[in-house]
Each structure stands twice: as C-alpha cells, then as structure tokens.
Amino acid sequence: MLTNEILKAVAGYTANMQKAVTFVLQTGEHSKRAELVAFLTDISKQSEHIQLEERDMDGLLRSPISFLMQADGVDTGIRFSGIPSGHEFNSLILAILHASGTPLKLDDSVKNIIAGVEENLHFEVFISLSCHNCPDVVQSLNQFALLNPNISTEMIDGGHYQALIKERDIQGVPSVYLNGELFANGKVDTAQLIDKLIQRAPPAALSSSDQASLALQDVTIIGGGPAGASAAIYSARKGLKVTLVADRIGGQLKDTMGIENFISVSKTTGPELSGALQSHMNEYDITFKEYLKVTEVEGGDIKTVTLSSGEKIFTKTLIIATGANWRELGVPGEKENVGNGVAYCPHCDGPFFKGKDVAVIGGGNSGIEAALDLAGMVKSVNVFEFMPDLKADQILVDKAMAKPNITIHKNVATKEITATNGKVSAIEYIDRATDTEHSLKLDGIFVQIGLIPNSVFLGDLVEKTRFGEVVINEKCQTSESGIFACGDVTTVPYKQIIISMGEGSKASLASFEYLMTEGDRLEELFYSENTEKMAIAS
C-alpha cells in the first residue's frame, strides 16, 4: 500500500519528533484489519518514536479497524476508524507530527478560542478517501483535539461503516457530527467550524494587551484567493506592513479540480495552486489571520477591521478581495436537501451517486465541466440551462454532446426539488418556450449557476451594484478613499483566476501609490490623535 518512496518521505518527516507517538489499535476481527496492521506497522518502522500496540479499549474505539493516538502515553483525543490512506494519508502524518511537538499553524487568537472551550465535545467526521475537502476538516479537528483535552475527534471512512451511513442517512461528505448530532454537512471548511464553535462558546472580550502584538498596518487585505494573494505579495515586496485576513487560503479556487487555462501551467488543480499561493506568500513578511472572518469594517482616515475573534486591526489602506460563493437556486427543496441529494461540488459528492441519475443546473463552463466529470461515474446526467443557449465554451459543449449519457435541456426553469423519505427523488421544471411543467426522477442535483459576491460584511461603506459587486475604477479604487477592491467580488467582468491575480497586483500598486502621498499623514494622525488605538498598537 505504501511505496518505498512514500516511506522514505515519512522517515524524513518524523526525524525530529519530540514526543513518542503510539498507535493504539482495537483488538478483534475484521476483513480489513490485516491491511490496517500492515499499514500502521510500515509507518511505525520509519521512526523509533512511533509504536503500534493492540489493546482492548473497552468500548472507547468503534471497531477492530479503529485506533487512537497517544503522545508520551497520553491520549491525544485523535481517532481513526478505517485506513487513512488516499487523501487522508496527509491527515495521519500531520496528526503524528503535531502530536509529537511540531507547532500548529494556527493564529494565537484561534488557539485561544479553541483552548477556551469548557464543554466536552466529541466530533465524528464521515469521509471518503476520494474526497478533496475532507482532509481539511479532519486535520482542523485533529488540531482542536490537541489544543483542548475536552475535545476528541474521529475520522470515519464511510466505506467501511455502511450500516452507520444508512442509519444516519448520510449522502455527502464531509459530514460532521458533534456529540451524536449533525454539526456540519456537505461542503464545510475550517473557518465554518471555528465560526460554529464561536457561536457555541463566544470568546471573551479581548483586552488592549491581548491585541498589542499588531501595530498600525499599511495594508490589510481581506480574502486569500488569487486576488488577495497577489495583492499581499505585491504589497510585501514594497516593504509595507501587510496583514491578510482569510477564512481559507485559496478561497473558491480550492474547489476547482481541473485548471488548464492558467497561462504557462498547462494543467493544475485548485488545491495545488492554493498550496503554491500559500508557499509564495510565506516567502514574505506577511501577517496571516487565517480561519477568521471579518464582522465589521469602519471607514475614515484610519480603517478599523473587526474579526470574529474579537480582534481589531487598524490600517491605512484596505484591499477587499473576498471573492464569491456558489449561487443558490432559491427554489423549494434546495436548502432542505443539501447533503441529502443537493450538492455544489461534483468532485466531492459525485462518487456517492455512482450508477445513479443526476442533474446539473447551469449551462456555463462550471456546469458543463461538472456534467463531463459526473458522466464517468453516474448512470445519466441531465443538464438544465435557463437561457435558450448554453454559455459554456464550445469545446466543452462538443464534448458533452458526444457523451451518450448526457442530456441537455435548454430554456428551462427549475421550479422545485422534491424528496422522498428524506432524499432527493425528482426535479420539477418548466419549459419556458411552452410554459409546460415537467417532472424528472433522479437521485442527485448539482447546482452550478455561478457565484455571488462576498460583500455583505461591507454594508453601505462602499458603492455596490444591485448584485452585490463592489464598484471600482480602472485603479481598483472604491467609492471610499483608501479602500480598494479586486477579483470576483468586484465589477470587473470575466471571473477568471488569471484576471483576479492581475487585479490583485493592480490594487496593491494603487494602494502603494495612495500611501506615497497619504501614508506619513495617516501615521502621524493615528499616533497623535487616537490614544486608545495607540495603546492597542504600541
């Protein structure tokens, strides 16, 4: 299962472990147990600090293919039920390293939120080994467990626990349960998990001394996608004090699997490109506030950005690069059935519909790409496009038309998504040309109708279109002095990765130009007139 090359890499990763890590495997019989034992044995042989023990844990572990991790003999709260290979192999290796003393790459404010939870929390994360988003959730909750002894978490490979999957009627991953109740379903990320924890246990108000580490910033960037990363790199290269706030580095990009139009790179994926963005930014002196959201922005000469952690950032300029999220249909049955047949990520949830009938809503590039991706695993794909013609590139349309199991419906409007026994069973739609209603039986629906700008948090601070896009000029300037915007959140047409990167660099250069004339004045203003902010920033 593990090649010599992989094992050699594991040996290198674990060479500097500071604590002994023990895999404690539940005793018993299971058809996959021998495979799991061989898997864990191979890993344990790569370091004298890793051991494998088999014990009867008296109900603490789920099955004979479940194991927990101890660090220096102490339970870390981390459990795995199944064989963490595939996309989850990194989750296991990171758990070993973090449990053995490798520092967690979490902001101090995030650590404080997690460490402050007093309630006993047990998470169950249902995953599939082919899921691209699942490892982020597993790895985040593993870190939560390491930060707080009141928290434990278990990765559960649904493929080995079909009875449990059926009992809980799980149709999408990751599905996260907390103390036996559904906590998060479908596409979920670390920031959403932290948000839910904050709602469950709000952090205490931060004192001035708690916030003293971050001085007045030259540039604060909100958003960590291609536009935000580009703006951060360009700003840091100018020698400016730069902070980047993002709920996740990569943003919507992380959900894109196939990228073949990023000039000079013939083929890559969203996760790969997101990792490259992070690595590039790490080469510069940039302060990251990851997994946090902005709850309020105040304008004025000095802008104030309030985070979900309670922290406040004071900055001379602000660059909005918050991108956009999947647009929802807004029809009956959509929200009610998310995770029960309604999905937004074909790469994540497509495998759950193998051999079944599904629909894709949307005839743009994303919709046709999703249909082509799904066609290889499902029984049939019906594409529904509201307009009389498809908006996708012709090369994609030609590929879809050539697939015998793809049917395209144009000039139709989705009316309702119906469910039977808690699962999607049909789509109701209207033929706009004849105004007749139709019903099509199916098992799943993938919504691919575009993006909606993430600009609500700005309120009326800057001018926006009726669609929520931030209005900018040719220099990415908004209607508010010192506030710039770039990427998919703005009025710039053609929502493309490479365009967002260019817009991010342009916004950075424009903010630098602004600071050349206003920076010294703003610095003096901040430290001479605002004693409260001066106390926080000094």
Domain boundaries, the chain: 4-200, 210-325+453-537, 335-449
Q: What is the pLDDT of residue 339?
A: 75
Q: Spell out where 112-180 has E strands.
A: 121-127, 151-157, 175-178
Phi and psi for 497 in degrees, rounded to 5?
Answer: -60, -50
Instruction: Reply yes or no on whether the pLDDT at 207 is more than 50.
Output: no
Q: What is the pLDDT of residue 530?
A: 64
Domain 335-449 has CATH 3.50.50.60: yes
Q: Do domains 210-325+453-537 and 335-449 have the same CATH topology?
A: yes
Token pair in block for residue 322: 């918050």
Question: For residues 293 and 281, what is the distance between their CA atoms, to the nearest angstrom?
Answer: 20
Q: What is the pLDDT of residue 75?
A: 98
Entry pTM: 0.77
Q: What is the pLDDT of residue 203?
A: 63
**Whether 511 contacts 319, CB under 8 Å:** yes
Annotated catalytic residues are 345, 348-349
What confidence tens digit (pLDDT) does each residue in 365-386 have? 989 999 999 999 999 999 999 9
What confidence tens digit (pLDDT) does each residue in 34-89 have? 999 999 999 999 999 999 999 999 999 999 999 999 999 999 999 999 999 988 99
Q: Can you give the C-alpha Rg of the chain in angstroms? A: 25
Mean pLDDT over residues 94-119, rounded? 92
Q: What is the pLDDT of residue 105?
A: 85
What confidence tens digit (pLDDT) does each residue in 63-77 have? 999 999 999 999 999
Mean pLDDT over residues 108-130, rounded? 92
Instruction: Identify the architecture of domain 4-200 in CATH.
Output: 3-Layer(aba) Sandwich (3.40)
CB-based contacts of 264, cutoff 8 Å, min separation 6: none
Q: What is the pLDDT of residue 422?
A: 79
Percent of the chain at pLDDT > 90 equals 76
Instruction: Reply yes or no on whether the pLDDT at 208 is more than 80.
Output: no
Mean of the per-residue pLDDT values for the chain?
92
* CATH C-level class of 210-325+453-537: alpha beta
Angstrom CA distances, 339 to 155, 194, 345, 422, 498, stand at 18, 20, 11, 10, 32
Q: What is the pLDDT of residue 209?
A: 43
Q: What is the pLDDT of residue 471?
A: 99
